[in-house]
Structure 1
């Protein structure tokens, strides 16, 4: 394993292309948003117009006193048609990377944040036997263009999420996903239109296996193009806990199914990303709902700041890899709650660093209130609001942005 010892801890914010850029017409997600029926509440549309206003976003990150920015490159913009590379898209990302460096920000790039080109999905997506090599080719293009200035590369964002969701999605949602994919196949004129974040439960095992194979191919491609660039993937991690012996069995069984398979898949990587938002406590009958009066997020899940440090420790013990918190945050309109959540989450995290745990960075999700997939714009996770209704798309930092800035400025590692 390559030793990764950055000169400084990375304090950053995260975004993803489809969720903030707007207008990625060639992507599978845009296509799925437009079929009927669709699992998406609404289309992303212009999102936050970050394709045009990326410099404003970087100014926000710098203004918070941060030193890093994580964003995704969109394969559908770089290769909108199979075999046809749009050099102007690579030039756009090239300018973004330079813009980060000009502001003293370390750029961290995610190579696949759920979305893929529509042509890729129409060829069965990650179920296509050629998918790993096609993705490796995309990684090579990106790293050859940008890799000399990147701080880190994340191959996949939360490839374990489909498995996690099989534990919680109600039948009506899985039925809607099935209908959505069927409608997409009919509209595209193909038998099997498949996406990375709209899936069928019976296909999750095969999807995971393809993600793992594609990840290894991507790591090889990244290292061939730039051997010294740290590379890994990020995992969604729900901090499973328990209060009864039966609950313990359920919590550990879920961990064995959702996380342990990724140990072998990430062996030899330079780091692993942890993306945590909540804790799930198991009793005799499964997950325990929040108590009356307990603080909850917009999804109704209990707010648990301690889940972050617990998840970091668990994944490090599981894999032995250095950790980057690639996402962490809270969905709420109550920004005072977000501020409290930040304070209470980061204090134990910095203690872990001081105690010697190899934690390389923390990236808050998200920089902006953005498009949150099937929930559309009903979820609010940003440190900054975006004026979408007025049509200006102006960004306004919230009080939590100032709290984050002050926490970073006052933390000595």
Structure 2
């Protein structure tokens, strides 16, 4: 079973997680607080900023034909309204290197990390974020027009709402520390809930002070809880960016990506499952109906009963991230999205955090076999990007989560391709 040459088969990264020394970002500040919730600092990460050619070469050698990566807003606009042409030129070089090697670049304009100055101005809860992001999208597109065919405006645009649900649940469980820690696996992003309540409070206060915000509850990073208005602001920012991109180059295919679970239920859980899917997906449909594609990202499932999500109903082993190893989740989610979203679909992230690369190989085989069936059924699936090309910095969890198709010795920065990279490449026509 092989995908044809027109299918984008590749791997993905995010700038802050792989590049290193992203000193102008909000994440850099939060990592370096005295009572940081991050278990370690990103530092030089895996030095992809300087070694992108080597990494793209390894991707190409494995037979892959596409690479999804993000442009770091904090590098491009480190000070409000001041563009860094040198940094923009760096990303153009990455794009050009992809093109010179027959690799399709799929570029994400925002992948969780933001310029620190944006957070001091209210971040992702301020209406001003819409025009700030629109201006940034216009600037970048003016430089990449004619080179890039696919742009994801915002990675996991629903993550802020998922964080709101997580924090609400944590608040209700505050008296049971062990139960709080078990909630880490309920979102598909690296969060650290191992600190005690006092440490968390210190971290919140230090974060607010770092961004010159009086109330710790008003610090609005992208991976923080959203109000209903904040959730809508992300959609407004996406729409404004899409329009700005199209105004510069109407040929660019534009979409966003969503973090989705394969929502399942047992008897009595139907209404809870329906609400969960609406929260994660359905209520966004009016804001993405003009998009050219939808980026689908799924790592696992959630099973609902009459009381809500019930992880005890999951039968598979847990990944390093704490959620269930469930490769068919991405297949089920693609089918379900295709019922409601009529544009093209791209799997922009899917993978498994494990130290067992043999299991990663099997995970890839199971997921891609199911996705090939989706294409046979007539679903407009245009690509699949494994997360991640490299073992990298999994946000608050640090470097311990090994999602990568390539391992990295962070002392020497030596790259070692895993067998899973070769297995992934074997699914595309030569």
The question of a shared fold, defined as TM-score above 0.5 by the shorter chain, is answered with: yes
Q: Note the C-alpha offset of 1:249.
A: 1.6
> SS of the counterpart of 2:427?
helix
Q: 2:414 aligns with which of 380, 386, 394?
A: 394
CA contact (8 A) 1:116 1:195 kept: no
Q: 1:339 aligns with which of 361, 364, 372?
A: 361
Corresponding residue for residue 270 of structure 1: 292
Q: Does 1:408 align with 2:414?
A: no
CA contact (8 A) 1:20 1:50 kept: yes
Q: Does 1:294 align with 2:316?
A: yes
TM-score by length of 2: 0.88
Segment of structure 1 superposing worse, 167-176 or 128-137: 167-176
CA contact (8 A) 2:314 2:324 kept: no
Q: Note the C-alpha offset of 1:179.
A: 5.0
Q: Note the C-alpha offset of 1:167.
A: 3.9
Q: Deviations over 1:256-277 (max 9, x none)?
A: 1221121011011101100010
Work out the CA distance in 2 between the residues paired with 1:307 and 1:406: 22
Q: Note the C-alpha offset of 1:292.
A: 9.3
Corresponding residue for residue 230 of structure 2: 207
CA contact (8 A) 2:29 2:210 kept: no
CA contact (8 A) 2:213 2:219 kept: no
Work out the CA distance in 1 between the residues paired with 2:334 and 2:314: 29
Work out the CA distance in 1 between the residues paired with 2:293 and 2:221: 23
Q: Note the C-alpha offset of 1:35.
A: 1.9
CA contact (8 A) 2:112 2:223 kept: no
Q: Does 1:258 align with 2:280?
A: yes
Q: 2:257 aligns with which of 227, 234, 249?
A: 234
CA contact (8 A) 2:265 2:304 kept: yes
> SS of the counterpart of 2:294?
strand
CA contact (8 A) 1:178 1:199 kept: no
Which has the higher relative contact order, 1 or 2, with Cα contacts under 8 A spaced 6 or more apart? 2
Work out the CA distance in 2 between the residues paired with 1:181 and 1:217: 31
Q: 1:127 aligns with which of 125, 128, 148?
A: 125
Segment of structure 1 superposing worse, 300-309 or 331-340: 300-309
Q: Note the C-alpha offset of 1:354.
A: 2.2
Q: 2:10 aligns with which of 6, 9, 12?
A: 12
The count of residues paired between Structure 1 and Structure 2 equals 400
> SS of the counterpart of 1:407?
coil
Q: Deviations over 1:181-217 (max 9, x none)?
A: 43222134333663433424xx432221110110110
Corresponding residue for residue 21 of structure 2: 23
Work out the CA distance in 2 between the residues paired with 1:338 and 1:357: 25
Corresponding residue for residue 366 of structure 1: 388
CA contact (8 A) 2:163 2:224 kept: no
Q: Deviations over 1:15-49 (max 9, x none)?
A: 00000000010001111111243222211111110
Counting only pairs closer than 5 Å after superposition, residues 11-410 of structure 1 correspond to structure 2 as: 11-169=9-167, 170-171=170-171, 173=193, 180-191=203-214, 194-200=219-225, 203-244=226-267, 246-289=268-311, 294-388=316-410, 391-409=411-429
Q: Using a 3 Å threshold, how does the CA distance of structure 1 residues 179 and 256 change in structure 2: closer, same or farther?
A: farther
Q: Note the C-alpha offset of 1:356.
A: 1.4
Work out the CA distance in 1 between the residues paired with 2:341 and 2:317: 32
Q: Deviations over 1:86-135 (max 9, x none)?
A: 10001100100110001100111000101110111111112222211111
> SS of the counterpart of 1:382?
coil
Work out the CA distance in 2 between the residues paired with 1:47 and 1:130: 31
Q: Note the C-alpha offset of 1:71.
A: 0.5
TM-score by length of 1: 0.92
Corresponding residue for residue 3 of structure 1: none
Work out the CA distance in 1 between the residues paired with 2:403 and 2:345: 22
Work out the CA distance in 2 between the residues paired with 1:294 and 1:260: 27
Long gaps (5+) in structure 2: 175-192
Q: Deviations over 1:215-235 (max 9, x none)?
A: 110001100111110001000
Work out the CA distance in 1 between the residues paired with 2:373 and 2:204: 46
Corresponding residue for residue 186 of structure 2: none
